[in-house]
Amino acid sequence: MNNKIESGLNQITEKIKNVDFQSFYGRFSSTAPLLAWRLGLGPITGRYLMIITYIDHKNGNPTKTPLEFFQINGIKYIANTLGIQSKWYRNLQADPKVTIQTYDGSEQMVAVPVTQDDELITIIEWLLNNKPSFINPHLRELGIETNRKDILKHKKELLFIRFDPTSEPTPRGLEVDLAWIWPVLLLWSMMTKRRKKK
């Protein structure tokens, strides 16, 4: 019996060793915000993360990706720190019509690359003042100094997307289809408490 238990523990240990925790974390960090939105937690998570629904240019299917965003003068932006090879970035270039979901709810938008010098400088200055822990390492990695001349010299390496409203059809966003779980959990909690009192 002890041999069977020891054998079982050894098998579990081997399986844990073989788990790619970095890959697991990557999948969790990309799916957790989607689950939170479906649970009705969008007003909370949507203050920091945006869910973008866009069309995958390879298969034509809607795809949903959570990304950190920031807002300047009422305009929402995202930064692409992974470069032009980023899958979501390539898809937005192929078809810029998207649905974004934040604490403001669902909005039909067009994803527009930031190309104007003044807008880019405004974004960098805002990030330096409000999110220095994000933008400073990114600029250092690209070898860009925090002055206007050097920023504009490397403007093609600084990839930002602005979202402009549109009346054109966009892919359907994520539904809040799991909010029913909360009253069920509340009811279960109340019933459990009553049983314990008895």
| 197 falls within a domain | no
**Is 170 a residue whose pLDDT tops 60?**
yes
Mean predicted confidence (pLDDT) in 148-165: 96
Question: Token pair 């069920």 is at which residue?
Answer: 184
pLDDT digits (tens, 9 = 90+) for 109-127: 999 999 999 999 999 999 9
Q: Which two tokens stand for residue 36?
A: 């939170």
pLDDT digits (tens, 9 = 90+) for 30-49: 688 888 888 888 888 888 89
At residue 15 the predicted structure's pLDDT band, cuts being 50, 70 and 90, is very low
Backbone phi, psi, residue 98, to 5°: -140, 165
Nearest to 51 by CA among 60, 42, 39: 42
Angle at 132 between CA 128 and CA 135, to 5 degrees: 80
Domain range holding 172? 2-176
| 187 falls within a domain | no
Q: How far is CA 142 from CA 68, 103, 132, 153, in A?
A: 20, 32, 15, 12
| 125 falls within a domain | yes
pLDDT digits (tens, 9 = 90+) for 56-107: 988 999 999 999 999 999 999 999 999 888 999 999 999 999 999 999 999 9
**Is 20 a residue whose pLDDT tops 60?**
no
Q: Number of structural domains, the chain? A: 1
Rounded Cα gap, residues 120 and 155, in angstroms: 8
| 183 falls within a domain | no
Nearest to 107 by CA among 71, 144, 132: 71
Rounded Cα gap, residues 95 and 107, in angstroms: 16
- Tell me the pTM: 0.78
Answer with the residue of higher pLDDT: 136 or 18.
Answer: 136
Q: At what angle do helices 117-130 and 132-142 cross, to 10 degrees?
A: 120
| 116 falls within a domain | yes
Check which CATH number belongs to the domain holding 157 and give it: 2.30.110.10
At residue 25 the predicted structure's pLDDT band, cuts being 50, 70 and 90, is very low
In which element (H, E) is residue 108 found? strand 105-113
Rounded Cα gap, residues 63 and 172, in angstroms: 10
| 198 falls within a domain | no
Backbone phi, psi, residue 127, to 5°: -65, -40
| 186 falls within a domain | no
| 149 falls within a domain | yes
